[in-house]
Structure 1
């Protein structure tokens, strides 16, 4: 894993299987979280959570990398990481509303991981057009490359070279 700097002290990545399903269900049932997630429809219960975690674990088994549970000082604050979409590694981050402010720190740590991994020459970010605060992507050096349809919803596709 990438080396930690003082700015990401306390941030760690674990597998989603290490998190109490009730925490994930509560997280993904919060309308503030799903407001900008057009693919997150329907209610979250234990069955849906188990399917979600199994899908993320399948990515780890297939690609050797996937989404993590994000922890801050040992507490679950959300999930995210890298998921293979075709030949590309897409980065996503979904935080608890009270932890939205950790996004930049977590992303810097995740991108340090990507830069150290030779499998990841660049990452993509898929964001719904409803997201209006995109200056953070500009500051990272990510550039808008396209508007795409993904599973029936429109997304803005950004790319950031990591090499």
Structure 2
């Protein structure tokens, strides 16, 4: 029975050692915290896995390794992005390119906000003109007459108790 345990334990150690060295030592050589690397990887959608956790997503790990290899080969950030756009189309990026028809996707929301703001400004101005409120003079007269009424009521009540 001891032999079976030793064999199973030996196989576990063997397979775990091969899993550790399977990446070819890329993690030791490449700096994943490089700002240019981070900026490049953050722009890629990674087949919908761009927002997943690196430690649990094998697709994201594969993309990181590919991009790291491309940087080691001397490719620039733009070269890498162009490569992925050529291979997968614009869907390879998290945000659409700011040219051509996609430019309208960037500009339209801003234009709509400005147009709605201008429209509301003029509509509120028109509503104010059509609905006149009490003038200041009318309001002052109203307050004077109201205060006289209250004064007379107070006087009557005071006379009752004197």
Provide the TM-score with structure 2 as the length reference: 0.27
Kindly name which structure, 1 or 2, has the bigger radius of gyration based on alpha carbons. 2
Higher helix share: 2
Higher strand share: 1
